[in-house]
Chains A and B, each alone.
Chain A
Amino acid sequence: MLQIFTQGIASGEPYDFEARLRRFDGAYRWFQVRGLPLRDVGGAILRWYTLLTDIDERRRAEDALRHSEASLRAIVETTPECVHVIARDGTLLSVNAAGAEMAGAPSVDLMLGRNFYDFVTPEDRERYRAFNESICAGQKGFLEFDIVRMDGARRHLETRAAPLRTDDGTVVQLGIARDITARKQAEARLRESERRLRELTETIPVMLWSATPDGAIDYCNGRFLEYTGLDAEQLMGRGAFTKVLHPDDLDRTVQAWLSCIRTGAAFQAEVRKFHAADTAYRWCMVNARPLLDEHGRILKWYGTVVDMHDWRQAQEELRHTQEKLAYMMRVTTMGELTASIAHEVNQPLSGIMTNAGTCLRMLAADPPDVAGASETVRRTIRDAHRASEVIVRLRALFSGKELTTESMDLNEATLEVIALSMDELQRHRVMLRPELAGDLPLVTANRVQLQQVILNLLRNAADAMAGVDDGPRQLLIRTERDEGDRVRLTVQDVGVGLEPHVVDKVFQAFYTTKSSGMGIGLSVSRSIIEKHGGRLWGEPNDGPGATFAFSIPRDPARTTDAVAV
């Protein structure tokens, strides 16, 4: 200071400097010191004029401003948000470190002077340009837009901006931008999740609802509203559900629901629910479960309603069909039996008619052939007896009356059947091998019926082997003692065999694997054997063919327990 002063005096140049001078009270204050020399005509300095101006207030204000600017700069440099100044043409005039980082720039210098529009994504660029120009025209503003960082990553920003007048009078944008990509993504995820849930609840072909812990409905999905034809308000609240229930289902449903609300038990009910589309009640299944908090208190009820009307009707129809089928089976059984009986009766009836016709003609002849007529009448009577016997036999078979039983030798009965069918068996080229036990006890049974069964088994076996041409048609018939004081008869063939899935079916009436035959043989045979307290079964052989066998107690009367089983 003194130097400036001394130089000034020495050179005779005016001086001007600022310096602190001590005031009367001892405090130093800033003064502007200006000195001007007064010269004579010859240029010699006559004297110095010195002007002292107290500038202490101004100096303080300047200091405060400098200090304030430094703080502001510190704030701007440390804020996590991007603070930038952008010219009207988009040139980035100033940006803080956070801004550089946001844009993926290694340093602030690399960004300055570039056009900020280049950072904005092409689809947002025009919008941003308009925004910037509006700010520079003096408007404040807010904008969300996307940028592409220098590393290629895309970010979503929001910026608040205000016009800033520069020293040269132009207006630029002062903006503060914030990266809201994460928030946007979270919002998008939430929206997507909500959209999916809404899609799910609105497209699922089930009615959904929820209720408060006290049972008031507080949500119904669209399907629910559409089904009932009511709007959400009509269905909300306590007891609103009852509006759509069939009056007959009301009491029990409400009772059950109230009980579940009290106890927290899962709710389930089959109810008839009003269906708007056809203004009718349809059967629905209603289910609900409570959502509990950690203390087990009910927070909310969530429920479904499923229309099961068609399913229920299909079930009913199925049951009806089954009943009808069972009825048809019975009718068919009757029809087939009738055909069988008709055949048995038609044979003697035919004889009766023929003989009667012959008789009339003999008597009408001239002279009448009385001897011949007598013969035809005798045959007529015999055939009538035969028809009557058929009826008696059928009644014995199907009336369920007590069997007339006798003590009989199963071996002997079997040999009789073999003798009767020998012709037929030979015709079928069947090689029969009897293995009859020598120590077989007598059985109490109906001889004719047992012989019918044996005959049926032999015929089936012979038929089963009709197609066997590559080997002997071997047929084994065996009698033996069976455990539990029983006797057993087995017939084994090498024929077509027995598929496992038809083992049970072959015993059903009218099931047959033959092209001819009615399929009642085994069914009738089984009922005969069961009437004797026995069992008739069939099974495939290990090799070709099948084995059928029956086992009967020696005396059904003494083994009634076995019969009952």
Chain B
Amino acid sequence: MVQRSLVSVVDDDESVRESLPDLLRQFGFAAQAFSSAEAFLASEFVSQTNCLILDIAMVGMSGPDLQQELTRRQQAIPIVFITAHGDTTVRPRLLALGATECLFKPFSDDALLEALTQALGTRSTCEP
């Protein structure tokens, strides 16, 4: 059996943590959800994560903070940012800092799949 890619979700919104992993599994990924950046960093999944779906605005450490921290730790994990703030100016900034994509909530499952495919590149094992 092929090892499925692990997609980790970090979002302080509970409904996201509930719904996204199910969709990710439908896509064929393994999924883990965390309520904060700190919780993710403290977990054993950092090094196993193939792609990170990361909320921008969180209490405490924000999404971009985590991105910086991972860069500092030289953990090159592709990141797909998600945000409920409609500020479109953040997207180019985040992409310039190395993010794969930045999706504005609400986003469609197809848009998410496309972003993930791009993030994981040819290593994708996403077809269900």
Contacts and interface: CB of A to CB of B under 8 A. Distances in A.
Range for the number of chain B residues in contact with chain A: 20 to 34
A343 B23 contact: no
A292 interface: no
A390 to B, nearest CB: 11
Contacts of A376: 19, 22
Nearest to A428: B60
B15 A351 contact: yes
Contacts of B110: 357
Contact of A346 (B18, B19, B106, B108): B106
B41 interface: no
B99 to A, nearest CB: 18
Interface stretch (B68-76, B84-92, B114-122): B84-92
Contact of B108 (A342, A357, A424): A357
B86 A346 contact: yes
B1 to A, nearest CB: 18
A427 B109 CA distance: 35
Contacts of A427: 59-60
Nearest to A421: B59
Interface in B1-25: 13, 15-16, 18-20, 22-23
Nearest to A383: B15
A250 B13 CA distance: 74
Range for the number of chain A residues in contact with chain B: 20 to 34
B45 interface: no
Contact of B23 (A352, A357, A365): A357
B109 A358 contact: yes
A564 B93 CA distance: 49
A349 B86 contact: no
Contacts of A372: 22
A206 to B, nearest CB: 54
Main secondary structure, interface of A, reads helix
A355 B22 CA distance: 8
A388 interface: no
Nearest to A362: B26
B84 A379 contact: no
B84 A347 contact: yes
Given A361-B26, A361-B109, A386-B15, A354 B20 contact: yes
Contacts of B82: 350
Contacts of B15: 347-348, 350-351, 379, 382-383, 386
Given A349-B106, A351-B16, A358 B23 contact: yes
A339 interface: yes
Interface string B37-56: 00000000000000000000
Nearest to A348: B15
A353 interface: yes
Contact of B107 (A343, A353, A375): A353
A352 B18 CA distance: 11
Given A339-B85, A350-B84, A358 B60 contact: no
Contacts, number: 81
B20 A347 contact: no
Contacts of B85: 339, 342-343
A349 B105 contact: yes
Contacts of B105: 346-347, 349-350
A106 B14 CA distance: 122
Contacts of A349: 105-106
Contacts of A360: 109
Which of B13, B23, B104, B108 neighbours the largest number of chain A CB atoms within 10 Å of its CB?
Answer: B23
Contacts of A353: 106-109
Contacts of A379: 15, 18-19
Given A347-B15, A383-B15, A424-B60, A354 B109 contact: yes
B95 to A, nearest CB: 20
A462 B108 CA distance: 37
Interface string A323-363: 00000000000000001001100111111111101101110
Interface in A377-404: 379, 382-383, 386
A351 B86 CA distance: 16
Given A349-B105, A350-B107, A427-B60, A355 B84 contact: no
Interface string A359-375: 01110010000001001
Which of A346, A348, A354, A379 neighbours the largest number of chain B CB atoms within 10 Å of its CB?
Answer: A354
Contacts of A351: 13, 15-16, 18-19
A323 B60 CA distance: 41
Contact of A354 (B19, B60, B87, B128): B19
A350 B13 CA distance: 10
A354 B59 contact: no
A425 to B, nearest CB: 11
A74 B82 CA distance: 125
Contacts of B23: 354-355, 357-358, 361
Contact of B106 (A352, A362, A424): A352
A347 B107 CA distance: 11
A230 B26 CA distance: 92
A358 B110 CA distance: 11
Contacts of B84: 342-343, 346-347, 350
11 contacts: A339-B87, A342-B86, A349-B106, A350-B15, A351-B18, A353-B108, A354-B112, A357-B108, A358-B23, A358-B109, A379-B15
Given A343-B86, A348-B15, A375-B22, 15 more contacts: A342-B84, A343-B84, A346-B105, A346-B106, A347-B105, A354-B19, A354-B109, A354-B112, A355-B19, A357-B109, A357-B110, A361-B128, A372-B22, A386-B15, A424-B60
